[in-house]
Amino acid sequence: MENFKYEVLKNNGQGEKMGGKLLEKSALTRVQVIIIAVIIIISIIAVAAYYIFSRAPEEEIRIGVIGPFTGPFSRTGEEMKRASLLAVKQVNEKGGINGKPVKVFFGDDESKPEVGASAAEKLIVRDKVHGIAGSYHSSVTLAVMDVIAEYKIPFVNTLSLSEEIPKKITSNYDKYKYAFHAYINSTGYALSERAFIEYLVQEGIFTPKSKTIAIICEDTDYGRSAGGAFKKFMTEIGWTIVSEEYYPYTVTDFYPSLTKIKTLNPDILYSAGGGAPAITFTKQLKEVNIKALILTESYTIFPEFFAAVGDAGIGIIDFIQTCEATPVGKNFTKAYIQEFNSYPTYTAGCQYDAVMILLDAMEKAHSTDPDKIVQELLKTDYEGFITTRIVFNPRSNEAIFGPGYCVAAACQFQQAGSSFGECMYTVWPVKEREIIKTWE
């Protein structure tokens, strides 16, 4: 019996010890449960905070605009900024997008592709934009397209002309389907220019001596694309290229090139570019006095061009859209002058259209979902500043080129002044004035 009692007491003692261990384990488990619960609660709060504070408010439509707001093309960036603000103001005055106000955010690309890509990412990640409109330089646009593809955000561009933009979209449509080019590329421009030259010859306005061309363009994606396309389509109809050069944006002396071109005596001198080099080229061109049809692209894009060149620009035929060529353009020009007390440039009109096309698609989508906006962009049939009608090719997301759609216009510098409106007149396909023959 004693032995039995001893065993019971012994077992009870072990039981108590075991019970103590069980109690200790049970206490640890409760602590772990509390810790896990706290972590879950913190996670829920963090996720909620992200959606509340990090995402764009549902009651607000956010769009981003990328442009060269500082650097050598800051004047272009200023035009883009003004046009964007005007477009957003007009939309908000009419009630916004499906009753929601529109807010615009700006990203400076400094005319550099890598900076433009970073600006696009900041607009998307930091500012939570629902779409982006803008970008001027083709090289910047191509870089931005990769960011757009990564984040799947709708992007509408009008100002870049490189052939590589539609090529990039068609090369991998599923990846780049969020990017749209709402104007013609260098091919469309070159075909328009060729049609214009053929018109001049057929009408007896221009009689070439030897069907020769000298090409001198800026050394950028745009300049090389423009020069290459013009060369391709003109040689197809029997013209000969006697000189082809591409200059850096830092060039200040065109005399060697112009002197060489003068000795070649071409029928046409073609140049695509803009900014300070366009001003320098035009002034030195008059001094060298080359007797040829001077055909340019985008030379008169900067407002300061006109005052800077004076009467040296008279006779140049620039392929660039006039601000008042369409009904929308006339209304836009009037509103722009009233808002900013200055005459708008082609750049401003193009950017205005880009913003309006994007916002129109957002309104019709009744959503900020990128794929729904893309579907509405593909249905675009827009009458804008640039041309009478913008409709996208579903294979390249680029505006369709041709009669009734996008056609580049020929405008001639006909008198000295301080603005596009004072100096430039459309001579083809719409004829505001007769052409001045400075090549004779």
Is 435 a member of any domain? no
Which of 13, 38, 54 terminates a domain? The answer is 54
> For position 97, which CATH number holds?
3.40.50.2300
Token pair belonging to 424: 């430039």
DSSP designation for 380: -
What's the pLDDT at 37? 58
SS3 231: helix
φ, ψ (nearest 5 deg) of residue 260: -65, -45
Span of 10-14, 156-160, 378-382, 386-390 with lowest mean pLDDT: 10-14
Average confidence score pLDDT of the chain:
87
Same domain, 333 and 303: no
Same domain, 203 and 125: no
Closest Cα partner for 230 from 269, 280, 180?
269
What's the pLDDT at 273? 92
137: Cβ contacts below 8 Å, ≥ 6 apart: 68, 73, 109, 111, 113, 116, 160, 220, 221, 222
Q: Which residues pair with 155 in a beta bridge?
A: 132, 179
Same domain, 203 and 319: yes
Helix or strand run (H / E) with residue 230: helix 221-235
Is 370 a member of any domain? yes
Beta strands in 131-239 (DSSP E): 131-134, 155-157, 179-181, 212-218
Same domain, 279 and 159: no
CB 268 within 8 A of CB 295: yes
The answer on pLDDT for 432 being more than 60 is yes
Token pair belonging to 334: 């009037």
The answer on pLDDT for 238 being more than 90 is yes
Residue 185 or 110, more confident: 110
**How do beta strands 268-272 and 131-134 pair?**
unpaired
What's the pLDDT at 34? 60
Is 440 a member of any domain? no
Q: pLDDT confidence of 39, banded at 50, 70, 90?
A: low
Which of 54, 80, 97 terminates a domain? The answer is 54
Is 434 a member of any domain? no
Q: How large is the average pLDDT for residues 92-106?
A: 98
Is 438 a member of any domain? no
Same domain, 43 and 102: no
Closest Cα partner for 358 from 335, 327, 321, 384?
384
Torsion of CA 259, 263, 264, 270, to 10 degrees: 30
Same domain, 35 and 94: no
**How do beta strands 398-399 and 392-393 pair?**
antiparallel
Same domain, 84 and 194: no
What's the pLDDT at 14? 40
Which of 35, 54, 73 terminates a domain? The answer is 54
The answer on pLDDT for 292 being more than 90 is yes
Is 439 a member of any domain? no
Closest Cα partner for 424 from 348, 345, 358?
345
Same domain, 83 and 175: yes
Is 437 a member of any domain? no
The rounded distance, in Å, linking the Cα atoms of 203 and 205 is 5
Q: In total, how many domains does the chain have?
A: 3
Residue-number span of the structural domain to which 287 is assigned: 187-324+408-428
Same domain, 78 and 215: no
The rounded distance, in Å, linking the Cα atoms of 36 and 251 is 66
Same domain, 381 and 340: yes
Closest Cα partner for 227 from 298, 287, 165?
298
Q: Which residues pair with 318 in a beta bridge?
A: 296, 411
Residue 326 or 280, more confident: 280
Same domain, 32 and 158: no
Same domain, 86 and 96: yes
The rounded distance, in Å, linking the Cα atoms of 163 and 185 is 6
85: Cβ contacts below 8 Å, ≥ 6 apart: 104
Q: How large is the average pLDDT for residues 272-300?
A: 94
pLDDT digits (tens, 9 = 90+) for 330-381: 889 899 999 999 888 888 989 999 999 999 999 999 999 999 999 999 999 9
CB 303 within 8 A of CB 420: yes
The rounded distance, in Å, linking the Cα atoms of 67 and 122 is 14
pLDDT digits (tens, 9 = 90+) for 175-228: 999 999 998 888 888 999 999 999 999 999 999 999 999 999 999 888 999 999
Is 436 a member of any domain? no
CB-neighbour burial class of residue 123 (10 A; exposed 0-12, middle 13-18, buried 19+): buried
